[in-house]
Structure 1
Amino acid sequence: MASLYSIGLSGLQSSTARITTTGQNTANVDTEGYSRQTTATVSQSGGGVLIQDTDRIVNQYINQQVWSDTSNYSFYESYQSMMTSFDSVIGEDSVSISDYLDNAFSALQTANSDPTDTAARSNAYSNLKQLAAQYNDLANYISDQKTLANEELESNIDSINNLTDQIANLNQQIYRLETTTSSSANELRDQQEQLVKELSEYLEIKVNYDDNQLMTVNLASGQPLVLQSTNNELRLTSDTNNPDGELGIELDFGNYELNIPTDELGGAVGGLVEFRNEFVTTAERMLGQQALVFADAMNQQNQLGLDANGDYGINLFSTAEIETTANVENSNEDYGIAVRVTDGASSEITTDTYEVEMMSPTTFKLVTYDLDGNVTNESDVIDTTTATPTSDGYFEVDGFGVEIAFDSLPSYAQGDRYQFAPTKNAAESIKMSARSGDYLALASPIAVSRADSNLSDVAISISSITDTDSATSAFSATGGLYNAAPQTLYFTASDEVEIQDGSGTVLATLTGITDYSNLLEQAGLADDAGYDISLDGPPDAGDSFSISFNSDGESDNYNGLKLANLQTENTVEGTRSFTEAFSALVTEVGSLTATLTTNMDASETIMNKSIAARDEVSAVSLDEEAVNLLRYQQSYTASAQVLSAAQSTFATLISALG
């Protein structure tokens, strides 16, 4: 009879435990992260049932897939969110650089129609100034996006450190509970996995379990975030060797810090870092390149004309000095370099990162890198002891659009490096340096004419103006042409010309002429003169043509038309106009935003399928629990009847013995 009592009692205990587990599952049907539980039993020797344990029903492989897919979705979602905001601004017509360019050049064309109209000059000046201001505004917006990403990253890093601290604390609680009692820490493990899911929204992580079934959490690149009851905190860092001050991530191990590869972070943090370090940098440099080329092209052309006062044109725009960053391993931190754009060579400037590498104390080369760190170009080695510097000590790097000056030659060491990005700050710093529309140099510095006595009706025209610097051209500093400059063309025959200076001295003679364009270049005089002329056909013998300084050029618009034509010339890297360059930025923004949106939608679908797969295994089904409850109630009733039968049988036996 004792066996019957034991069987009935163990049955009651087993049914009670299972009903309790079913009740726990039912109560937590809406608890996020809860894994349904089941109570296992085995038949025990001598009869009855033995309760083993109550465990969670989980599949760690599926859980890891959920965390990975959550991280992937969060990466695209955070990146896409930032890009959507950016796209809504950069693509807006009211802030488009293209519209400001159209307005500025349209106003410049109006001024060209009457260069003596002060109001038209003033309007052109105002529109050019607004264009510069719009470059500033867009650059500031891009900078604000970088700041916003920084702030979000700071917040996310704080959340990550808080989550890993909680996961480590739960490891400690789980270990204490499961080693001091016979119970499984099911609820604590559910909480821990829910924290891991939240953590996966910020980072791509990998979860493993040690011999005590305590959770270890590693970054995708392998570095540990959680080891048993200890968590290692993440911190944001800034790369001082990078001219863009890129953000990095380091893991603090207490006694030392370890830099984390930012391209393997994943999650919202990975998306924000990529947006901040890659896209924002790209946008900043693309816009800066346009501003830099615009300022240089306008300045160079304006210097080739005469302004409203008859003076040589000045720079219309200015940009900030190019910032350089010395490598921390350089031999002497006191020595630096200075960099500037070579006048008229801005079309050679790219959006790459430039690095000056000292090959010896007196030689260097220039290397450019794209944003992925790949070498895109490399100069020849320049020897500062043999190369000819500019008058103020700069060495031009042919084909790269920049000039380099050194603090203290030959005090450098082989391997010293300096980085800079010429386009980085140009858009935010560009400003109108000219003070009024009078400084728009619309007139040509030379005037050309045909002699009244000419027998032919051939006309002379200006082919080009290339230099007005008094040190390197035929133009004097005070205004006028040097006497030795080419000033008269006298044709001794229709195909033969004497080119004379201001005193009538023959500087060169051309014979057998078949092409009447660029005659000074044909005579080898154009480079020194800084100008050239053409005829529209063969003249007659005895015809002469004059070249003089344009002292009465108030109504002349030769150089103004050249300024206006810059709008459509391929000045940006020699392949795109200003408008096309800005359109390329808008297109890049729109294309990237669309791609991210597509990837975000796809990754969300994949994540939801992983969550559904996890729920199939671990989520509570009320229908299933209702069936289990009914079954365990029936089992409880049957076990109670077994006890009742045992009691009745025992009572009958006692009665019979009495």
Structure 2
Amino acid sequence: MAIRTADLFSIATSGINAQNTLLRTTSHNIANVNTEGFVRERTTFVAELTGGVGQGTTERILNVFAQNQLRRDTSKLGEAQAFYERIAQMDNILASEANSISGSLSRFFGSLQTAIDEPDNVSARGLVLGEGKSLMERISSLSEYMNRSEIELNQELDSLTKEANDLIRNISDLNSQIRDVQTGNRFEEAGVLKNERDLAIRNLAELVSIETRVQDDGSTLVNLTTGQSLVMEAGVFNVFQTAGDPDITRRNLQLSSNGKPTVLNVAETDLGGKLGGIFSFRDEVLAPAQRELGQLALAFADAMNEQNNLGMDYDGQLGADIFSLPSAQALNYAGNSAANLVINGRVAAGDAEMLSTSDYKITIDAVNAGPTLDITVELLNPDGSPSLDTSGNPITQTFTGLNAAGGTWEPIMDGLELEFPSGGTYAVGDEFLLQPTRYTSSQITMDIVRGEDLAFASPIKAEGDIGNLGAASVLSTSVTNTTVSGGTDGSAFDGAGGLLGPGAAPGGGVGAPAEILFTGPDSYQVLDSAGTVITVVTGAPDLRNLLAQAETSGAGPAWPAAFAAQDDFPGYDVSLEGVPKAGDRFTLSYNTNGVDDNRNGLELAGLQEANTVRRDVSTPFSNQNGTTFHGAYAQTVSSVGEKAATADIKLKAATAMEQQSSDWYESVSGVSLDEEAANLVRFQQAYAASARILSTAQSLFDTILSSVR
């Protein structure tokens, strides 16, 4: 058994000092009960073998597992909250009747239906233009809201990135201070510094999802959960920086080291925290919605233009475009051979239905004499990942021999045309990013200002001769091309209120079809305006699309090769019903004075129910892979609404989990005033008892001195 050699004075003194330290620790805990990030402290002592109290050690009361769980749940809550706040706002905007594109579409087609009921009513025509302008303004307003959201999003990303970098630097500095303090004092933890550092780590966890590792020297290393280091040993740390290539408005996140000139890319989708929530909202909600709105606007405007061009207006002229469709300039990648290279893109007239919501990456494969270019086009999702086909492969296509000259537009895919105004100055490996649907919805404008320019009438008229003896009558006419052109895209319309006659039609021989003369119930001749036989058809299976049948089965003479060489000539056709007799005639002529005609107006109104917007990028456009204007907008609203509802559930779950982990953490590391008050009384009593020992020792010492005097 150890022999205690300490005297009462040293025992009492050590007891007083120990209780004083305990009182100081308890007082420190009570004083910081409302200090954010404070971790309660505890001082422990060991007994000296010789008697009395030994050296005390003060340390924080901390459950590392609870702390790490709280950080993880803080990241999840930050991500869920950032995502929900933004998607809830967009959901409210899209679902609001005041901003609804669906309501504007209904009003536009309602006014169109009213106008075609009275095609000679100029006031009703003007109302259609007014509703069309209102629709475009509504689409533009919604597009500008999304564009402003994108700008605000980038500003917030910059602000949060700066905040994260400040926290990373602060954590690194505090690590250095903690190492210095603990090196010089092994009996007392650098509690204040560690509290401040852990609070900074928790604040950083709210911004990004992190993992930590505590070192023996008291410092804490911080990594992203994806593996990249933020705070390393010896004061080295990485900071975030934002960049965009080729689109500077689309921020990408990188890590830059303060010790070495190293840049690491960060996967924004796995980032977590507020930054991760903002990136997720941008890539999963905002960017797709921008492109879907652009696709809808282009499909609507192009479909209306195409159909109006196939009609005849109030003044008897061939129809023109109702809306002007913008072109888009592709973005240069930073690594291109020159920064001033240009590629322009646009939707080919009548082909917007084939357009997808993808972006198009264009790579120059070869620069040939001419100059001509060979290129590869790759489809990208709004987040930059490849668009995939039904087999899961990236969608790419190669094009060769494209003319590289200003003013020359070359068709590629999905209804797009490209212009290469930089000529032969492109270099192999140059890359460009074309975003045809991202901003175009706010750039579409009305191209006509008069209601009279709406082409409600059909430009072709078919009439049976008054002397016909058969029971056949005109069932319908169709118009597929009214282009007035000397090229291969031209129609039989001369642009001056008539059809091309002999000498003016392609080939310079016979004129455009102007008469159908039946030689029997199932045989007929096609004649031009001069009465010259163009071709003869025998054994017709039915009386539908008589000119199309003449083109494919006409004989003696056959359908003219010059007609067949055109893309779509004559651009009109006629169908009959009933049974004709030999000698029956049906004339085809320009619909002069057809003011009361509304046949093309009905086609315009029918676009409301037509599938004219492509749905899925993985397969080409078809009636099955298409939807209506209303359907396309409803799909966007539904998608955002569904994601908003899911985000709400995730936010509530994340809030509950964060509260639970916070309670767990606080139950260990938080200050309990009741417990500290009890300790205060206990330590005060111990202090008084130690003082009593000291006074007793003093009395004994005085008694001993008195006895020897």
TM-score by length of 1: 0.93
Tell me what 2:213 maps to.
208
- Alignment pair present for 1:44 and 2:48: yes
> CA separation in 1, counterparts of 2:181 and 2:380?
56
In the TM superposition, 1:106-505 aligns within 5 A as 106-180=110-184, 183-227=188-232, 232-237=238-243, 239-242=244-247, 245-254=249-258, 256=261, 258=263, 259-361=265-367, 362-372=373-383, 373-376=385-388, 378=395, 380-384=397-401, 393-398=408-413, 400-407=414-421, 412-471=426-485, 472-483=490-501, 484-505=511-532
Q: Any conservation in 1 of the 2:60–2:189 contact (CA below 8 Å)? A: no
Tell me what 2:18 maps to.
14
> CA separation in 2, counterparts of 1:313 and 1:202?
57
Q: CA deviation at 1:617?
A: 1.4
Q: CA deviation at 1:631?
A: 2.8
> CA separation in 2, counterparts of 1:357 and 1:416?
6
Tell me what 1:616 maps to.
667
> CA separation in 1, counterparts of 2:256 and 2:396?
40
Q: CA deviation at 1:392?
A: 5.5
> CA separation in 2, counterparts of 1:352 and 1:653?
101
What secondary structure is seen at the aligned counterpart in 1 of 2:255? Answer: strand
Tell me what 2:61 maps to.
57
In the TM superposition, 1:16-95 aligns within 5 A as 16-95=20-99
> CA separation in 2, counterparts of 1:5 and 1:36?
32
Q: CA deviation at 1:624?
A: 2.3
Q: Any conservation in 1 of the 2:182–2:218 contact (CA below 8 Å)? A: no
Deviates more, 1:574-583 or 1:170-179: 170-179
Q: Any conservation in 1 of the 2:406–2:421 contact (CA below 8 Å)? A: no
Tell me what 2:619 maps to.
none
Tell me what 2:643 maps to.
592
Tell me what 2:507 maps to.
none
> CA separation in 1, counterparts of 2:91 and 2:445?
25
Q: Any conservation in 2 of the 1:284–1:424 contact (CA below 8 Å)? A: yes
Q: CA deviation at 1:655?
A: 4.2
What secondary structure is seen at the aligned counterpart in 2 of 1:597? Answer: helix
CA RMSD in angstroms, aligned pairs only: 2.4
Q: Any conservation in 2 of the 1:58–1:618 contact (CA below 8 Å)? A: yes
Pair 189,584 (structure 1): closer, same or farther in 2 beyond 3 Å: same
Q: Any conservation in 2 of the 1:224–1:232 contact (CA below 8 Å)? A: yes
> CA separation in 1, counterparts of 2:682 and 2:397?
86
Deviates more, 1:419-428 or 1:257-266: 257-266
Aligned mate of 2:683, from 625, 632, 640 = 632
* Structure 1 unaligned regions, length at least 5: none
Q: Any conservation in 2 of the 1:165–1:230 contact (CA below 8 Å)? A: no
Q: CA deviation at 1:218?
A: 3.2
> CA separation in 1, counterparts of 2:309 and 2:42?
86
Q: Percent identity?
A: 34
Tell me what 2:603 maps to.
562
In the TM superposition, 1:507-586 aligns within 5 A as 507-524=534-551, 527-573=568-614, 574=622, 575-586=626-637
| Structure 1 residues 360-401: Cα deviation after superposition (integer angstroms, max 9, x where no partner) | 22322322122341233545432217xx99995322225x21
Q: Any conservation in 2 of the 1:448–1:461 contact (CA below 8 Å)? A: no
Q: CA deviation at 1:533?
A: 0.8
Q: CA deviation at 1:535?
A: 0.6
Q: Any conservation in 1 of the 2:326–2:346 contact (CA below 8 Å)? A: no
Q: Any conservation in 1 of the 2:154–2:249 contact (CA below 8 Å)? A: no
| Matched positions, count | 653
Pair 333,633 (structure 1): closer, same or farther in 2 beyond 3 Å: closer
Q: CA deviation at 1:305?
A: 0.8
> CA separation in 2, counterparts of 1:392 and 1:185?
72
* Structure 2 unaligned regions, length at least 5: 368-372, 390-394, 502-510, 552-558, 615-621
What secondary structure is seen at the aligned counterpart in 2 of 1:381? Answer: strand
Greater length-normalized contact order (CA 8 Å, ≥ 6 residues apart)? 1
> CA separation in 2, counterparts of 1:109 and 1:52?
91
Pair 640,231 (structure 1): closer, same or farther in 2 beyond 3 Å: same
What secondary structure is seen at the aligned counterpart in 2 of 1:347? Answer: helix
Q: CA deviation at 1:339?
A: 1.7
